[in-house]
Structure 1
Amino acid sequence: MVSKYITCLTVAKYYTLHICIFIIVCALSLCRGDKFRVAFAMIGTLRNLLPEKTQILALSATATKPTYDNVVSRLSMENVSVVGLSPMRDNIRYAVQAVTSLDDFSSKLATGLRHMQNTFPKMVIFCTKYDNCWSLYLLLRSKLGSHFTFPSDCIDLQEFRLVDMYSSASTVEMKEKVLMSFSKVDSTLRVLIATTAFGMGVDIPNIRWIVHWSPPRLIEDYVQETGRAGRDGLTATALLVYGHLHRTVSSSMKNEDSAGKGCGCCDVCALSCDCGNCCTFDLPVK
């Protein structure tokens, strides 16, 4: 239910007279509220308590036609004006790789972190399940040993870690510390292993790699999450690793057509390119 405090505040005469616009920052969550963010599912109820002439601004990084229709319906919007841009970003390269196991994947990451330490390209690894998130974190912690922190053999405090984790199970204090550290251009933290809890309101310009351990359920989720890379305009890579594709992805995600942009846009185009300038899509190891 919408908080009684919010309800009373909304219908109070002072606020009724002064509310001029109602802004939803992540409108996509309106469509996920029933399962993901429950409170968002009730925003439509809150909208009905506002004065009839209140303007509404719904913002979203991505929105398919069904999402648009859902948001308009939930917010009872009329005479809607749409301002939209394509989510395609020319500086993001896309690649897909099969992996044999989480252990093999973590070994490659650990090799790169040991060699490059605090110069390792800033990376976010999205896991669809908390168990995978936690397992990968523990594997990297074990494989890195004394190199888990920078400088090596330093005391294990959050501000010295090269790898950390962010999920709904993390405390508010820990989430704030991780975001504060990761947001620094020259942060010690280089690899963040996260669930979808990491996302809304986050804007870190120099993320060079977005890695998905197993594909998201929907192409809309994939576009949103890969869009967190390369916000400084420099080249970034979105790498999708998988083991059993048909078991983890909806048909809409598997059947999504590729829209190649030419040389260097993805690993598929790189295979047919003979320019000699296409960069590797392998994980950084040195």
Structure 2
Amino acid sequence: MLWPTFIRSLVVCHVPVVALTATATEETKAVIKKQLCMDNCSEIMVNPDKKNVTYWVHNLPSDDICTNFRWLVNLLRGYKQATSRMIIFFRQIKHMADVYEYLETSLKHDAYIDFKEGGPNDNRNRLFDMFHMKTDDDVKDFICTSYMNPNGNIRVVLCSTSFSMGLDVKGVDTVIHYGPANDVDDYVQESGRAGREPSQQCNAILLTYKRCLGSQNIFPSMKEYVKSKTCRRAFILNIFKTIVEHAHIPHFCCDICRLSCKCACSCEDECVCTNTCNQVLPKINTAIMSNEDNDDSDDNDDNDITELDDMFSSDSDSDVLESSTRKPQVIYSSDDEMF
């Protein structure tokens, strides 16, 4: 990380310097200050908490990625263009490509809006698409344009971290991570693609699968977040040294707080209610939970590392080139015809 020191060396000592970042933990801020020689500087911080985002962690028992995303096929087939807009982040390009092919193969004509028998049917009328470092530039532009338009055709983007920065996405009410981000800083940044409209209740969902915590690139704090048995919002904000303001009903906070929600309780003394929460699960959570078997969860996933896991332990953008040598690309430009 030599470039900050180089930049600082170009600035004479009496010139004020401002360092800006979207999200930064205490550790990240310490690195920035050290590299930019910003001793005794002032900090202006904004609370990263989004009260309209509910945090969830769902444990998927299957090793089969198609089984783990069967719920998405059902949602797209059932709701089509009315499907809630979502962004799904992947750590591995292999997983992203496999889900893309699974959706295309399973949905067939249902993958498109106004499917044309004679074609062309491509990213311009498809309900989902894939966005990573090697995606065709025309496709990238179309995806970005569609997601900046509240009425855009694309409902689901399967993506790497390339899609997490610099986009003013509209109407995204669900951000899903298939496997944890590298650290809590990245997770807050990426899950923050949802909840841009304060009046819209949104969901940040982390899907875990066997051995997903095995990568050495994942920080201990992120692993602790996944395994946490206490409020997930409080855990995140504690990383940022920010005060937690529980100003909302617990069932809108996180999956842990939802279990203790008593919003429907009318008892004056000790609660004797059989049902103390009247909040219905969002349909996407209900769909995902249909794949779950909580009794099959493994608390020692981070100790169960295989040679195959190490092969794919890097971030999805960084292993695109390696993956492309193992299987054909499934990227289509805006002028290509599907076949």
Place the TM-score, normalised by the shorter chain, in its bin. Answer: 0.7 to 0.9
Corresponding residue of 1:109: 72
Normalising by structure 2, we get a TM-score of 0.67
Corresponding residue of 1:19: none
Corresponding residue of 1:65: 26
Q: 1:279 to 1:89 in 2, by over 3 A?
A: farther
Once the two structures are TM-superposed, the CA of residue 282 in structure 1 deviates from its matched residue by 5.0
In structure 2, what is the Cα distance between the partners aligned to 1:171 and 1:52? 44
Residue 253 (structure 1) aligned with residue 219 (structure 2)? no
In structure 1, what is the Cα distance between the partners aligned to 2:209 and 2:168? 30
In structure 1, what is the Cα distance between the partners aligned to 2:194 and 2:11? 37
Q: How does 1:1-286 map to 2 (within 5 A)?
A: 42-99=3-60, 100=62, 101-153=64-116, 155-233=120-198, 234-244=200-210, 245-248=212-215, 249-256=218-225, 258-259=230-231, 261=246, 262-274=250-262, 275=264, 276-283=277-284
Q: 1:66 to 1:92 in 2, by over 3 A?
A: same
Q: Deviations over 1:206-238 (max 9, x none)?
A: 111000101112111111111110111110001
Aligned with 2:100: secondary structure? helix
In structure 2, what is the Cα distance between the partners aligned to 1:108 and 1:253? 26
Which residue identity is paired with 2:278?
N
Question: Which segment is superposed worse, 199-208 or 74-83?
Answer: 74-83
Q: Deviations over 1:89-143 (max 9, x none)?
A: 1100111112223112322101111111111111000001111111111111111
Runs of 4+ residues deviating >6 angstroms:
none
Larger RCO: Structure 1 or Structure 2 (Cα < 8 Å, ≥ 6 residues apart)?
Answer: 2
Aligned with 1:134: secondary structure? helix
In structure 2, what is the Cα distance between the partners aligned to 1:56 and 1:173? 38
Task: Please report the RMSD computed on the Cα atoms of aligned residues, expressed in angstroms.
Answer: 2.1
In structure 1, what is the Cα distance between the partners aligned to 2:125 and 2:15? 48
Structure 1, gaps ≥5 residues long: 1-33, 35-40
- Count of aligned residue pairs for this structure pair: 246
Aligned with 1:125: secondary structure? strand
Aligned with 1:193: secondary structure? strand
Once the two structures are TM-superposed, the CA of residue 76 in structure 1 deviates from its matched residue by 2.4
Question: Which segment is superposed worse, 49-58 or 207-216?
Answer: 49-58
Normalising by structure 1, we get a TM-score of 0.78
Aligned with 1:95: secondary structure? strand
In structure 2, what is the Cα distance between the partners aligned to 1:132 and 1:183? 26
Once the two structures are TM-superposed, the CA of residue 195 in structure 1 deviates from its matched residue by 0.6
Corresponding residue of 2:236: none
Does structure 2 conserve the Cα–Cα contact (< 8 Å) formed by 1:95 and 1:281?
Answer: no
Corresponding residue of 2:304: none
Aligned with 1:48: secondary structure? helix
Does structure 1 conserve the Cα–Cα contact (< 8 Å) formed by 2:149 and 2:170?
Answer: no
Which residue identity is paired with 1:224?
Q
Once the two structures are TM-superposed, the CA of residue 264 in structure 1 deviates from its matched residue by 2.3
